[in-house]
Structure 1
C-alpha cells in the first residue's frame, strides 16, 4: 500500500498533513510517496482559490488550522505574507527530490518551518537564499536545479497528472484510486490503509 501526497509548501494544510503522514504510513506499513505540484496552477486550471481569498472563510480556516495544529501537537504560525508565490520553491523541491533525494526531507523541513513556524516572507528571493544557506544548501546548486529543464518539466508533469486525477487543492492524498482532499481527512486515509 502507498499514499501519494500531492502538496505545495505554500499551503498550511499541506504543512499540517506533512507532520502527520509519515507516522500514519509507518503505523500502517504503507509507503509515503511525495508528489510536489504547483498549487497556483491547480487553482488556475480548476477555478478554485485559497480560502484566504474569501476574507470571512479565510479567518475561519485559520482558526481551524490552529485547532488541528493543537490536536497534532505541532507549531503553526499563520504567515502574514500569505499567499506566497511558490513556483521557484516547488521547482527546488522537485529538483532536490530528483537529483539529491537524500536531502529531500531536509529541504521540505526547511521550507515548511520557514513558512509555517517562522512565518518568513519567502516571496523575497534574498530571504529564500539566507534560509537555504542557513540549512546548509548551496544557492548555486538549488538555482541550477530549479532552472533545469528536466525539473521544470517534471513539476509541470506532476501538476498535470494531479489535474487529470481530479485534484483541485492541496494537500490531496491518494490511496489507490481513492482521493482524499485536505489534511482534515487524514482519518479517512488511515481507514483506506487498514
Structure 2
C-alpha cells in the first residue's frame, strides 16, 4: 500500500480504501511556516508544510484532491520551517530582490493553474516576513495529537485566511476565528489553544521538524515517498507529476475527477 506524509502547518488525516502494493509507501511532512509532503514508514500518505510559504497552499490543496484519486493514505503533519532553514543554512528565496519580483508573478500564475484563492501584491512580502505562524503550527500540532481528522479543514481555513482574505493568523483571537470557521466548538478550540504552550505540543512539533530534516528537507513544500523501504524526497510545487510517476499513478492535472 502507498503511504505519503506531508510536512505542513495545516492539513488533515484522511482515510480511504486503497489497494495493497507490497513494501510500498509514500509519506509527507508539514512545517510551521509552510505546508509540504513528507515520508513516514507505513501504509499511509502524509503531507507537511507551512502556512506562510506561498507554494505550500497550492500543493497541499492539490494533494488533498488526489487523496480521492490516487491510492494513497494522506496525512498532514506540521513542521517548523524556521528550524529547517536554520539547520540547513537555507535562506528565504524572496530575500533576493529579482527572485522576489519573479515569485510575485509566478504565484499569481500558480493560483490560476491550481485553482486556489490566493491574493498577493508586492507589499505582502513584508506582511509575510512580519507574521509568525508558530502559534498556528502548534495549534495544528495539538489538533493532530487529539483530533487528527480535523487537521485538513482547519489547515485549509488558516491558509485561506492568510492567503486569500489577507488576515492575521498569529494572534489567539485569529486562531480561534479559524477554528470556528472550520466547525470546531469554542470549548475544544480553547482547549487546543491552551495546549500550544505545553511541553508536549512544543516537543512534538520539534520532533516532526527534526524528522523532516533527517529525510533531507531544506525548505517547503516537501514530500517523501517510500518504495520498497527506500524513502524519496520531492521538493517544490512542480514535482507532483513526478511524484505520481514514482508511485505508479497518473497525473490528471490540478483538479482531477474523483474515482467512481
Flag whether TM exceeds 0.5 (same fold): yes
Does residue 27 in structure 1 map to residue 69 in structure 2? yes
| Cα deviation digits, residues 123-168 of structure 1 (max 9, x gap) | 4444334444444443522322212222111110010011111100
Does residue 103 in structure 1 map to residue 170 in structure 2? no
Q: How far off is 1:4 after superposition?
A: 1.6
Q: Residue 139 of structure 2 corresponds to which residue in structure 1?
A: 92
Q: How far off is 1:55 after superposition?
A: 2.1
Q: How far off is 1:37 after superposition?
A: 0.3
Residue in structure 1 matching 2:103, options 36, 41, 61: 61
Call closer, same or farther: CA 1:189–1:25 in 2, change over 3 Å.
farther
Call closer, same or farther: CA 1:128–1:59 in 2, change over 3 Å.
farther
Q: For 2:75 and 2:174, how far apart are their aligned partners in 1?
A: 29
Q: Residue 189 of structure 1 corresponds to which residue in structure 2?
A: 243
1:162-173 matched pairs, under 5 angstroms: 162-173=212-223
Contact 1:8 1:171 in 2 (8 A): yes
Residue in structure 1 matching 2:204, options 133, 154, 162: 154
Q: For 1:85 and 1:95, how far apart are their aligned partners in 2?
A: 17
Q: How large is the Cα RMSD of the aligned pairs?
A: 1.8
TM-score, normalised via structure 1 length: 0.91
| Cα deviation digits, residues 72-107 of structure 1 (max 9, x gap) | 122211272213311111111111011112322221
Higher mean alpha-carbon deviation, 161-170 vs 81-90, is at 81-90
| Cα deviation digits, residues 7-52 of structure 1 (max 9, x gap) | 1122121111111012333322111122210001111111112222
TM-score, normalised via structure 2 length: 0.69
Q: Residue 3 of structure 1 corresponds to which residue in structure 2?
A: 4
Q: Residue 180 of structure 1 corresponds to which residue in structure 2?
A: 234
Q: Please identify the structure whose Cα radius of gyration is greater.
A: 2
Tell me which protein shows more helix as a share of its residues.
1
Higher mean alpha-carbon deviation, 151-160 vs 94-103, is at 94-103
Provide the aligned length of Structure 1 versus Structure 2.
194
